[in-house]
Each structure stands twice: as C-alpha cells, then as structure tokens.
Amino acid sequence: MRGPYTVSVVLACCRGEKYLAEQLSSILAQTVVPDEILVCDDSPDDASCRIAAGFDRVRVLRNSPPLGVARNFARGIAEAKGELIFLSDQDDVWLPDRVGRMIARLGDAGGVFCNSTLVDGDLRPLGRDHWTMRGFPPEELAELRRGPSEARMRELFLRRVLPAGHDMMFRAALREKILPMPDLIACHDSWIGLVVAYSGGWAVCDAELTLFRQHGDNLSGMGRRSAWQEAKKSIADNTFAWSEKLYRAAYERTGDAALLARAEHSAARAGMDVSLVRRLPAVWREWRSGRYRRFARGWRSLAQDLLLRRFFGSGGLKKSASRCIIL
C-alpha cells in the first residue's frame, strides 16, 4: 500500500551479512512499503552488497574508504529521494505496521520516534524496552506517553536527546539543517534529534515497533550499569566535553539560545576535573543559576561533581558510546 508521502529508508551497514536479509525483508513487508531503501555500506568486502542487490527497491551506496557511522548515515540522508526519511540499523527487524503507524502520528511535526523491544540474536524478547533501558525517569516516560507539547519536548531535549537513530523518522525538508553533521564521534542520532526538536518538533509514537537486536557485536553497557556506575563512567570519559560540542553546534545551526545555555553548562562541568577548592565555585555557580536542575538531574548531578570527581576524574575525552549521559 502507498502512503500519503514518498518514503526513503537509509540503512547504514558494515559487515551486515548475518542479519541484513532479515531486516530488508521486514522493511519490504510493511503495510506501507517504502519507495526506496538506501543501503550505505562501509564493509571491507562486498558480502553485504551482494545480499542487498537481491532485493527490490534497494539502492546500494558503497563507501571506499569507509566513512564511519555518522558520515555513512549522512551520505544516505543526502541522497534520499523521499519526502520522509527513516533510519535503520542493519540487524533489527521492523514490525509490519511500523511505517504506517509512524506516518499516522506525524501531523505537523518535523519527525516521529517510537520505542523498541529488546530481543536477543534470535529475536527472543529480553523483557525490556529501549526507553526503559535508556533509564528515562518514570515522570519522563509518563510525559512521553501522553505526548508533551512542543515547548515541553524542547525542555526535555535540554537534559537528554530522546530518540535513537533506529527508531526515528523525519522530513527530508529538514535535511538542509541536519547536514552537514558536526565532526563528533557517534553523533548522528543525537544530532538529528536536537536539530529536529528545535526546527520542526518531534511527535511520539508510544509503541514498540522495532525489534532491537542485542547480540555480541552491538551490546551496550547502558541499561546494565547502575546510576552510580553511569555517573562514574561519564566522569572518566568526560562526556560533558562531548555534550558541550554537540549542543554548541546545535545552537549554531538553529540559533536557539537555550541550546547555547545547555552547551555552557556542559562546558562548565567539563572543566570541573580540578581540585575541590577550585571546583567548588564552579559547582556553586551552576547550582545558583538553576542549570543543574534545568539541564541535568539537580542535586544528583551536584553530588556527582562534588564527590565522584575526586576518585574518577582525569579521564579525558574518549571515544565512548556512553556519550550524553547526564546524571
């Protein structure tokens, strides 16, 4: 069935031959079938390309040399012809009504994101959904399921970027603001999330429409670590410096002053890896300004900066998938 929009799916691939055929089959089995699937391949061989070439509506974009995750998605977004662009991982499975239900939720928004079910390599449910794994507080989950206003959604995005790449769709008309992406490690979904939130707004589809496969090649520690462990890791990896660059770039692209204030808060926290005597004035300034409450987790984040940095600081900016963990 055709929908009210033309639809492109951008699937970033690297050594994806194990699960790629299953994912492509699920995309082409949608009740609203996409008009094209762009398989953007970073693989060192042509095994994934050979599989993709056997499917209808698939266009293969082979990268040589490899582009990396963010630039690989960026290339597909740049070449997509549809009015709506869905992003896809190579190893998930889409439920049959995923495309149709997300389009139905779009309205006047710039994009839609949904939830996903965590499954193992054989698609057996793990008893958790992606939003819960991300550690969204109960009050945020309740707001998401009610559908917050655009203004409230922007406020939520100042704390954390809500959608994940494998669960998002956005209008191709926003491509001029999304591209080029900033030169940051593993930024594509956080970047698109922020730009759409502050350019067209997100609608939420409160349904688990993706089987989000967890296996040896993509297992994330997030969701298995406690809040205490996450707090330690964010200090050791200095995720605050990563966040500062992300939010500053989003401010430069959209011009929204709230994003600049968020960037400045992250910059202040990134500079707190110093002695307690030097750190105390910065902590006090951030608390007095209200930015711990607006952009982080209030007193929990204050405690993180006062207490944990003594033991877990001096980590430097690392190539970490734990980016943008705000505690």
Residue 161 tokens, joined: 């970027």
Cβ-contact 5, 103 below 8 angstroms: yes
Provide the Cα torsion 235, 241, 246, 247; round to 10°.
90
What is the rounded CA–CA span in Å between residue 191 and residue 170?
13
What is the rounded CA–CA span in Å between residue 195 and residue 179?
10
At residue 96, what are phi and psi to the nearest 5 degrees?
A: -60, -30
The answer to whether the peptide bond before residue 137 is cis (omega within 30 degrees of 0) is: no
Cα–Cα distance list, 324 to 135, 162, 189, 193, 297 (Å): 13, 11, 11, 12, 13
pLDDT of residue 326: 39
If DSSP codes are grouped into helix, strand and coil, which group holds residue 59?
Answer: strand
pLDDT of residue 322: 39
What is the rounded CA–CA span in Å between residue 84 and residue 79?
12
Low-confidence ranges of the chain (pLDDT < 50): 221-223, 225, 228, 315-327
What is the rounded CA–CA span in Å between residue 109 and residue 40?
27
For 7-213, the fitting CATH number among 3.90.1640.10, 3.30.530.20, 3.90.550.10, 1.10.10.10 is: 3.90.550.10
pLDDT of residue 323: 40
Q: Which helix (H) or strand (E) holds 8?
A: strand 7-13
What is the rounded CA–CA span in Å between residue 203 and residue 172?
16
Contacts of 305 (CB under 8 A, 6+ apart): 269, 272, 279, 283, 286
What is the rounded CA–CA span in Å between residue 8 and residue 317?
35
Q: Which helix (H) or strand (E) holds 127?
A: strand 125-129
- Using one digit for the tens of pLDDT, what is the confidence trace for 133-174? 988 888 988 998 888 999 999 999 999 999 999 999 999 999
| Cα end-to-end span (Å), the chain | 45
Residues of the chain with CATH 3.90.550.10: 7-213
pLDDT of residue 221: 46
pLDDT of residue 137: 86
